[in-house]
Amino acid sequence: MKKTLATGAILALLSAQSLMADKIKVGLMLPYSGTFTALGVNIENGFRLFVNEQGGKLAGREIEFIKLDDESDPAKAADNATRLSQKDKVDVMVGTVHSGVALAMAKVAKDNNNLLIIPNAGADALTGALCDKNIFRASFSNWQPGYATGLMAAQKGAKKMMTLTWKYAAGDETVAGFKEAFTSKGGQVVKELSLPFPQVDFAPLITEIANTKPDALFVFFSGGAATKFLKDYIDAGLKDKIPLYASGFLTEGALVEGVNTDGIYTTLHYADNVDTPKDKAFEASYKKAYNNAIPDVFSVQGYDAAQLLNAGLVAVKGDISNRAGVVKGMEDAKIASPRGEFTMSKAHNPIQDFYIRKAKGTKNISEGTIVKALADPARGCTMQ
């Protein structure tokens, strides 16, 4: 009897050891081509930075990356996510930037009981009607920056505004969040314009804005297209005539190299001078790792996606097969983010502060917060 017990204990120990020797497979499904390429790269850089700062291991487990270019193409998303889940058999999927692609990833994750960490895509349903114990977001819901910008536009005194965005989940939902806040403060949206993703033929829309003469314009654009929009808006002579109040993706760092964005006001959950010890250390470490590159909100979200995974793994001492324990660790996490500390809502979306930011050069300088601890309303989520 004694002997059997001892053998059992040794076997258990050996299997625990071999489990810890296996690498954890992280599937990075991100855009490495198209208008969101820089976003995908910065998310990956942020994620890897955190892992490297821990010596390449999270909770004692080595990390192996499998990369996939999702091209920000929703039509290919289900096949791509299924490949990571079924062929590569990743332990966790990390992705992506585009809301439509992320919605397809979430379906695959649900159907196959995969863990999914979203490092950008804001589709409200991911932590709303489609919320799930296995789905976590390290970034924001589209509603959040839209809502914060609506509050800011009202505070700046705009009364009649127009909106302009791409016609897809992120554009529609950011505008909806904006309208909710702006109209609650007495503002009026007089015209809503859009064009299909990822088109950049802004000229006819800019002409219509110039003719309508609203007090200000709300826009949601991001990536390479945001730079093109800013150039066109400035060339049309509108920057000083019809102020832009936008979610801050419009003016993020390197994207606006060579464009005079000075004076443009945006809101976002990150700014260049957050100036906490955590943010300063993050910026220094990022610059050192990536040839002096300045981190932006996307780098931060990648870094925090890794921090979130780490919180889950630490809770189970690296045993990722203990899914319930990993999920609990992530739900209880207090993430020491460069943006400021945040916690997860019951629907698994960050509860976080939003900054008012004024652009200067390639920087977005915080003028304080417009709203603190903003939680997405998680409409339709029954996990609460």
- Site residues (CB under 6 A) for ligand PHB? 97-99, 120-123, 142, 170, 222, 249
Nearest to ligand PHB of 246, 315 (CB atom): 246
Q: Which of 185, 189, 187 is nearest to 175 (CA)?
A: 189
Least distance (Å) between residue 271 CB and ligand PHB: 15
CA distance 262 to 22: 50
Helices 203-212 and 224-235, axial angle in degrees (round to 10): 50
Least distance (Å) between residue 168 CB and ligand PHB: 7
Select the residue whose beta carbon is closest to ligand PHB and give its number: 222
Nearest to ligand PHB of 297, 311 (CB atom): 297
**Quick count: other Cβ atoms within 10 Å of Cβ 337?**
24
Least distance (Å) between residue 63 CB and ligand PHB: 25
Backbone angles phi, psi at 227, to 5 degrees: -60, -45
Backbone angles phi, psi at 186, to 5 degrees: 95, 0
First to last CA, the chain: 48
What DSSP string runs through 47-94?
A: HHHHHHHTTTEETTEEEEEEEEE-TT-HHHHHHHHHIIIIIS--SEEE
Nearest to ligand PHB of 215, 296 (CB atom): 296
Least distance (Å) between residue 296 CB and ligand PHB: 10
**Quick count: other Cβ atoms within 10 Å of Cβ 175?**
25
CA distance 223 to 221: 7
Nearest to ligand PHB of 298, 342 (CB atom): 298
Nearest to ligand PHB of 142, 366 (CB atom): 142
The DSSP element (H or E) to which 360 belongs, if any, is strand 350-360
Least distance (Å) between residue 248 CB and ligand PHB: 9
Nearest to ligand PHB of 125, 154 (CB atom): 125
The DSSP element (H or E) to which 279 belongs, if any, is helix 277-289
CA distance 23 to 25: 6
Nearest to ligand PHB of 146, 318 (CB atom): 146
CA distance 43 to 65: 13
- Tally helices (H) and strands (E) across the chain: 11, 15
Nearest to ligand PHB of 61, 98 (CB atom): 98
Least distance (Å) between residue 98 CB and ligand PHB: 4
Least distance (Å) between residue 220 CB and ligand PHB: 7
Nearest to ligand PHB of 143, 282 (CB atom): 143
Angle in degrees, CA 253, 258, 262, rounded to 5: 70
Question: Six-digit token pair at 376?
Answer: 């997405």
Backbone angles phi, psi at 34, to 5 degrees: 90, -170
